[in-house]
Structure 1
Amino acid sequence: MSVLKAFRHDVPSSIVVFLIAIPLSLGIAAASGAPLLSGLIAAVVGGVVVGLLSGAPLQVSGPAAGLTVIVAGTIGDFGLAGTAAIVALAGGVQILLGVARLGRAALALSPAVVHGMLAGIGLVIALSQIHVLLGGDAQSEAWKNLRDLPAQIAGGHGVSTLLGVLTIAVLLFWPRLVKTSLLPAALAAVVVTTALAAAIGADVKRVDLPDRPLDELIFPRWPDAGLGPIAVAVLTIALVASVESLLSAVAVDRMHDGPRADLNRELVAQGVGNTASGLLGGLPITGVIVRSSTNVAAGARTRMSAVLHGLWIAVFVLLCAPLLETIPMATLAAVLVVVGLRLISLAQIRTYIRHRELPTYLITAVAVVATDLLTGVALGLGAAVLTMLWRIVRCDARVVTAGPGEWTVTISGTLAFVGSGRVIRTLALVPPGHQVTVELHLDYLDHGAFQVIDDWRSNYEKAGGTVTVRETNDGWFSRATSGRLGDGKTAPARRFGSWTQWQDRDRQRRDAMGAGIREFERSVAPLVRPHLAGLARDGQQPEQLFITCADSRLVPNLITTSGPGDLFCVRNVGNIVPPSGGADVSVGAAIEFAVSVLGVGTITVCGHSGCGAVRALMKGGFGEDQALGSWLSQSGVDFSDCADEERCVTANVAQQLANLRTYPVVREAEADGRLTLTGLVFDLAEARMYTVCPVRGVREPLPVNAS
């Protein structure tokens, strides 16, 4: 893409991000107890400095709501100048982490803990700023704000409260009424309430900026405190800012088809930015998902969008500060209430319910609110570790009768010595003297648990019974019997993908469909039953709509290494998406259901090499009086002059992406940053996936570090 063409996209997107960044930066500074100028300095540095160095070119950095609680506590303990020094030192720590190539290490932290932390911080922000909105003063601790909230609500309210309520109303309803991203809700809310306050001559507290901003910079000074508290504050800001920035960078990667993020470079850039912000008296900087997603949705192509947004903020502060000083503080408080509550994501909560990690999320969030950030994160990490240990030692054991005198014992999951008690109780249910089949579906078996099963088998056979041990995976029990239990750390992975391979093991017994189903119920059902039972109870919550060809050689769950509940699939001849308003509505119904009801975040159109539908289109297809010809005519492509099959397959995928955007529900979700469209081509001969660039209409290798 030429520089001029990219610039044409980057300038408008930078203006959109600039319009969002101004009110958020002011509000975050106010909620942190810092001078409002500190928030604007951080926004400028985050845009210009981090933007120029960033390893995630489309990510936009600046002051973040997720650090508000930490910054407020740091200012209370060390003062403004001391906090500036701590921010600068935290940047140095981030630079060292990036140089040491530890960028991905931050992603090892459980997302449930990170999002629980952000949810707790969001609730703390909302509880404090609701008092400001209602005309009161925020307390220093969340539980005090919660305790005083009923009295604050019941008390008298003035014009500030009305302005705050109006701000919230505009923030909530503006996106539904106005679809253009050039007028973001935060800007609209601030403009409307500020204009109203000016029109009625409201006597309310307003933004206060220095007349000469450059003369009012707060320069860092070494805090008057012990080395221990300073080190804790530095590491807290460095680690939280790093994790939030890297998670944001990974999330932004999923929103566009450009270069993937270099997380180590991004960490260095964030460190340089925080050092610069601290030296100038600014707030800490992180990558901010709200601004970044807006940047991508507004059409940004390069890092110049983030850089330009920082420059616009600097120019605006230097030349238009009196305009900012007309904004009521109640308006900024209302913006922060909404921003804080939006850190509590219902979509994330549903995800953690589905993955059985809700306790970790809730414990972290509640602990952050009830205690402090470090204690809350520590308790969340403890909950995550306990959950992991519980899953590691968990096994499922059941016994059923298989016929007269025949019993089947099924043991699945991870079987360590701590789970032996459950196995012993299950085996004790088998009557003596019968034929027993022990089905083992294990991903781990230690010696203690093996000894329990082996001793029971020996004793049972001595009492006149017979025991046959069968294993789905290659052989924890058989390896233990031959003295080779410690030869490997893991058994072969249990995957749905190798369909033909695992069927070929005993094809003679499964030639008929009924025999295949019985084999599934015997060998596979025990592995998937707990997961399917959870999906049956909780309903489906797929991550994406996967539109692909009906070709029998293409198995979506195989090529995406996914399982039940992950993909909402639509398969048809040629992976075609008929344009909205056409004669066929079945695909459109699936699209609307996936986006509006299921809330998928991605729609993927996946073509494949050797596609018969594409070949038919290249040759002119079938007559439209035939069902197949009528269907193919809805693809919207014309391959009559195309002799290169690979190029035609790719062009077909690109065209179906364009057809997707004819659906209003898709355009709206994509504009709001809730939906990403992706094109893929699977090469059957290579068993390799390629991405499709819809702009150039070419396929490219899937990036190695693509998420």
Structure 2
Amino acid sequence: MTRFIAPGRDIPASFVVFLVAVPLSLGIAVAAGVPVAAGLVAAAVGGIIVGLIGGAPLQVSGPSAGITVIVASMVQTYGWQATCAITIGAGLLQIGLGACRVARTALAVSPAVMYGMLGGIGAVIVLSQLHIVLGGTPQESPIANLVDLPRQIGENHSAAVLIGVLTVVVLLVWERLPFRRVPAPLVAIAVATLAAWAGGLDVPRVDFPDSFFGDWSTPKVPDAPLPDLVGAVVAVALVASVESLLCAVLMDRTRPVGVARSDLDREMIGQGVGNCFSGFLGGLPISGVVVRSAANVRAGALTRASTVLHGVWVVALSLSGALLIEQIPLSALAALLVALGLRMMDPSPLKGLRAHRETWIYWLTLAGVVVLGLGEGVLLGMALAACLALRRLTRVRIRTEQREGKWHVVVAGSLTFLGVPKLNAALADLPPGVPVDLDLDVDFMDNAAFDTIHTWRVSHERQGGRVDIDEIHESWYENAMTGEAAPKDKSSGGVRWWAPWSRRERGPVQDLDGVSPREVLLAGVREYHGRTARLVRPIMAELAMAQTPDHLFITCVDSRVVPNLITASGPGDIFINRNVGNLVPRYGSRVPDDSVMATVEYATSVLDVKTITVCGHSNCGAMAGVLAGGSEVEHLPQLSNWLKHANYSLDRYLHEPEGDGAASPLTRLCQTNVVQQLDNLLSYPWLKRRVDLGEIELVGMYLDLETAKVHILDPDHGSFLAVPDEVPTEEGDGRRDAEATA
């Protein structure tokens, strides 16, 4: 059961988060043009309420820079009390979305759009807060701020500029010093405040109310058209939810061992409840905040208690530290937000986006947020991402070549009306009257594409040509010809690479009758060359000069056991030794054989593998021969000699209890044989020494052919257990993780 608090870790971490949250909350409130107490109220609610209810244990919620632009616009349009009511509405919407268990759908937004949105928000914050740093006043729009910036730089040289520059310098310098336990924002604000007080500088300062809730009044619904209100509520809920969910996913990647992963639906509900409380109490909208959450994890927090306690410290400061807060210069908070805005424009995500050719979506979304507004910019980015996805999903590749007196046309991809012009052009270039092989390697074909192919085929055959159409995936063309209904979904591939040749419905080998084994094998090679070689070529080229597998896999030669299939591994992943019965001769065996241990020696001493797995399987013919006393293989002298290595397994089987009796004798021997081969490996002193030192791990596996399930050996009890679909993070998490995966 998860601890509620780890005092030695959570209490110190809560102070660190508190010291980070206070200056950021004050700065965000000032930037949004709302009472500064609203930022502290949101920080307290985000810590206490969301910390207790939310589904992300180490995530810290509060006012975020991403909400600032929306709030500032709503305050100017509707007023502060109405903005609080909109915050409550957004909270109720979040609760509804969480109850409907749709939290993960929010993550379907393209990362390019999300990074662009954050970058655009950062740019808007920088452009507005630079005016305050320079001692001026922000304009009504980001473009106006940008146009007016040269004038501000040229005309304003007040003490506020000095305080702002000092704040930025302290931020930059402190983050490069070894005293990272004390947050840089706190140090920067403290130094700037002390400098303003010691120098007697006349600069604008924070206006803190006489009481924590200031002139609190009941939120009121704004007098505005219903579509505008709905749009405002949805905008706040969407941005706050996506920020929270993305932050939760990020924290899951860095969470300490033993901390449960986030329950995103519960987190959505917690954020909604928090926004309802924050709006009612006169606070800003809240969401999960990466800066505070990362500080919480780095400070060593282990439970949600650190998040809750940080909210308690915020309340304590707000009730007792008004005089101290009122000494903070506004330009120092503005400089802090400028630094935060620049971090939101972090270009590091561009590397991943560039690899997938999505950088332009990032820049256009960023520009849209700055020029058009947050909602319009995000909608623009989502529309562009949808167009790109549509283009990729409907992309068709056509290759035409002439060989052996025939023309070969290969069409691959999704063949829709969007690809018809390209297809028409390729078919029109074929000479009339020639034989044509048309390979349709498509996962979807609409009626327009079928009509184009069929019309061309009829015309080409009328001119004396011959057309052979081979469909590698589902029979889209054939179904259209016969009038059969096409499958509802796009095909996942009619040629199933994992199926035996005789079970494939399509592909090079469709009828094995009368086909020589050699031709079957070559047909498979041709299929590999046509479909797979080009896909694995970059990987094989990289591995061509060296291999670095971490696993040695010893298993039976049985054709039904396919190591790469049951381990979902690819080239370079596992080093494989296959022999009859997956046997390992014991050290000093009277029946000499060095082939298996030669493989083990090379794998451990040259390749430096970390794991040696012995995998047996059900209905093993070798073990059936051992169980029959060798009588079935007496006419095979080499095999009889080899199976003598299994005598230790037979002896172990005869002297061990039968257990509950549910397993057949052959199954028991097959599993006992795996355990014995692990012991045989340990009979080699040099290998046992490395196992004892923890340099190599021995693993036992068993494949049940009838269920196609793999079982893992529990070394403590000597029994084989089904491999779980998910690795549980704590008691009860396994079921939840499996549901999330589904």
TM-score (norm 2): 0.72
Is the alpha carbon distance of 1:212 and 1:706 closer, same or farther for their aligned partners in structure 2, counting shifts above 3 Å?
Answer: same
* Corresponding position of 1:668: none
Q: What are the superposed Cα offsets for residues 308-359 of structure 1, whole Å, 9 maximum, x if unpaired? A: 1111111122123333333332222122112222223434333333334333
Deviation at 1:370, TM superposition (A): 0.3
Moved more, 497-506 or 313-322: 497-506
Cα distance in structure 2, aligned partners of 1:356 and 1:509: 44
The answer to whether the aligner puts 1:168 opposite 2:176 as a matched pair is no
1:549 alignment partner, one of 551, 560, 567: 551
2:531 alignment partner, one of 523, 533, 536: 523
* Corresponding position of 2:489: 489
Cα distance in structure 2, aligned partners of 1:613 and 1:128: 69
Deviation at 1:73, TM superposition (A): 0.7
Cα distance in structure 1, aligned partners of 2:573 and 2:489: 39
SS of 1:3's partner is coil
SS of 1:213's partner is coil
Q: What are the superposed Cα offsets for residues 113-155 of structure 1, whole Å, 9 maximum, x if unpaired? A: 3332222111101111122222322212000111122333344
* Corresponding position of 1:45: 45
For residue 549 of structure 1, what is the amino acid of its counterpart? Answer: H
The answer to whether the 8 Å contact 1:51/1:60 transfers is yes
Cα distance in structure 2, aligned partners of 1:49 and 1:432: 76
For residue 253 of structure 1, what is the amino acid of its counterpart? Answer: D
Q: What are the superposed Cα offsets for residues 494-537 of structure 1, whole Å, 9 maximum, x if unpaired? A: 89x9557689856856888x9877543412367789xx79xx9x
Deviation at 1:5, TM superposition (A): 6.3
The residue correspondences of 1:72-221 to structure 2 (distance < 5 A) are 72-178=72-178, 180=180, 182-221=181-220
TM-score (norm 1): 0.76
* Corresponding position of 1:705: 740
Cα distance in structure 1, aligned partners of 2:62 and 2:188: 21
For residue 740 of structure 2, what is the amino acid of its counterpart? Answer: N
Is the alpha carbon distance of 1:10 and 1:516 closer, same or farther for their aligned partners in structure 2, counting shifts above 3 Å?
Answer: farther
For residue 368 of structure 2, what is the amino acid of its counterpart? Answer: A
Is the alpha carbon distance of 1:527 and 1:457 closer, same or farther for their aligned partners in structure 2, counting shifts above 3 Å?
Answer: farther
The answer to whether the 8 Å contact 1:363/1:380 transfers is yes
Cα distance in structure 1, aligned partners of 2:182 and 2:300: 15
* Corresponding position of 2:385: 384
* Corresponding position of 1:250: 249
Cα distance in structure 2, aligned partners of 1:585 and 1:195: 63
For residue 132 of structure 1, what is the amino acid of its counterpart? Answer: I
For residue 450 of structure 2, what is the amino acid of its counterpart? Answer: F
Cα distance in structure 2, aligned partners of 1:139 and 1:43: 28
Moved more, 434-443 or 92-101: 92-101
* Corresponding position of 2:664: none
Paired residues, number = 621
* Corresponding position of 1:65: 65
Is the alpha carbon distance of 1:398 and 1:24 closer, same or farther for their aligned partners in structure 2, counting shifts above 3 Å?
Answer: same
Is the alpha carbon distance of 1:699 and 1:87 closer, same or farther for their aligned partners in structure 2, counting shifts above 3 Å?
Answer: closer
The answer to whether the 8 Å contact 1:112/1:360 transfers is yes
Cα distance in structure 1, aligned partners of 2:368 and 2:278: 30
Is the alpha carbon distance of 1:450 and 1:133 closer, same or farther for their aligned partners in structure 2, counting shifts above 3 Å?
Answer: same
The answer to whether the 8 Å contact 1:411/1:439 transfers is yes
SS of 1:48's partner is helix
Moved more, 22-31 or 261-270: 261-270
Cα distance in structure 1, aligned partners of 2:361 and 2:445: 27
Deviation at 1:167, TM superposition (A): 3.0
SS of 1:167's partner is helix
Moved more, 192-201 or 432-441: 192-201
* Corresponding position of 1:598: none
SS of 1:705's partner is helix
The answer to whether the 8 Å contact 2:25/2:39 transfers is yes
The answer to whether the aligner puts 1:55 opposite 2:55 as a matched pair is yes
The residue correspondences of 1:602-681 to structure 2 (distance < 5 A) are 620=682, 623-624=685-686, 635=694, 646=713
Cα distance in structure 2, aligned partners of 1:11 and 1:703: 33
Deviation at 1:285, TM superposition (A): 0.9
Deviation at 1:18, TM superposition (A): 1.4
* Corresponding position of 1:24: 24
* Corresponding position of 1:408: 408
Cα distance in structure 2, aligned partners of 1:144 and 1:253: 40
The answer to whether the 8 Å contact 1:399/1:429 transfers is no
Cα distance in structure 1, aligned partners of 2:681 and 2:613: 18
Is the alpha carbon distance of 1:382 and 1:405 closer, same or farther for their aligned partners in structure 2, counting shifts above 3 Å?
Answer: same
* Corresponding position of 2:237: 238
Cα distance in structure 2, aligned partners of 1:429 and 1:349: 41
Cα distance in structure 2, aligned partners of 1:338 and 1:494: 54
Deviation at 1:400, TM superposition (A): 1.9
The answer to whether the 8 Å contact 1:475/1:491 transfers is no
Cα distance in structure 2, aligned partners of 1:617 and 1:351: 47
Cα distance in structure 1, aligned partners of 2:23 and 2:459: 75
Cα distance in structure 1, aligned partners of 2:607 and 2:173: 32
Cα distance in structure 1, aligned partners of 2:519 and 2:191: 70
SS of 2:457's partner is helix
Deviation at 1:51, TM superposition (A): 1.3
* Corresponding position of 1:397: 398
The answer to whether the 8 Å contact 1:260/1:706 transfers is no
Deviation at 1:227, TM superposition (A): 4.1
Is the alpha carbon distance of 1:699 and 1:40 closer, same or farther for their aligned partners in structure 2, counting shifts above 3 Å?
Answer: closer
Structure 2 unmatched runs, 5+: 510-516, 543-547, 555-561, 577-604, 617-673, 700-710
SS of 1:444's partner is strand
Deviation at 1:268, TM superposition (A): 2.3
Larger Rg: 2
* Corresponding position of 1:12: 12
SS of 1:486's partner is coil
The residue correspondences of 1:494-505 to structure 2 (distance < 5 A) are none
Cα distance in structure 2, aligned partners of 1:36 and 1:159: 22
Deviation at 1:284, TM superposition (A): 0.6
The answer to whether the 8 Å contact 2:613/2:698 transfers is no
The answer to whether the 8 Å contact 1:608/1:684 transfers is no
Cα distance in structure 1, aligned partners of 2:84 and 2:128: 23
Is the alpha carbon distance of 1:554 and 1:117 closer, same or farther for their aligned partners in structure 2, counting shifts above 3 Å?
Answer: farther
For residue 189 of structure 1, what is the amino acid of its counterpart? Answer: A
Cα distance in structure 2, aligned partners of 1:412 and 1:645: 41
SS of 1:438's partner is strand
Deviation at 1:265, TM superposition (A): 2.6
Is the alpha carbon distance of 1:214 and 1:377 closer, same or farther for their aligned partners in structure 2, counting shifts above 3 Å?
Answer: closer
Is the alpha carbon distance of 1:75 and 1:522 closer, same or farther for their aligned partners in structure 2, counting shifts above 3 Å?
Answer: same
Cα distance in structure 2, aligned partners of 1:147 and 1:106: 36
The residue correspondences of 1:550-565 to structure 2 (distance < 5 A) are 551=553, 559=568
Deviation at 1:55, TM superposition (A): 2.4
Cα distance in structure 2, aligned partners of 1:247 and 1:488: 33
SS of 2:316's partner is helix
* Corresponding position of 2:362: 361
Cα distance in structure 1, aligned partners of 2:35 and 2:695: 57
The answer to whether the 8 Å contact 2:712/2:723 transfers is no
* Corresponding position of 1:316: 317
Cα distance in structure 2, aligned partners of 1:225 and 1:276: 23
The answer to whether the 8 Å contact 2:130/2:334 transfers is yes
The answer to whether the 8 Å contact 2:553/2:614 transfers is no
The residue correspondences of 1:267-306 to structure 2 (distance < 5 A) are 267-306=268-307
SS of 1:691's partner is coil
Cα distance in structure 2, aligned partners of 1:504 and 1:338: 62
Deviation at 1:50, TM superposition (A): 1.4
Deviation at 1:59, TM superposition (A): 2.0
The answer to whether the 8 Å contact 1:498/1:558 transfers is no
Deviation at 1:33, TM superposition (A): 0.8
For residue 86 of structure 1, what is the amino acid of its counterpart? Answer: I
Deviation at 1:493, TM superposition (A): 4.5
Cα distance in structure 2, aligned partners of 1:413 and 1:474: 13
Cα distance in structure 1, aligned partners of 2:606 and 2:29: 50
Q: What are the superposed Cα offsets for residues 45-89 of structure 1, whole Å, 9 maximum, x if unpaired? A: 111111111122322211011110110011111222222222223
For residue 160 of structure 1, what is the amino acid of its counterpart? Answer: A
Is the alpha carbon distance of 1:362 and 1:241 closer, same or farther for their aligned partners in structure 2, counting shifts above 3 Å?
Answer: same
The answer to whether the aligner puts 1:425 opposite 2:460 as a matched pair is no
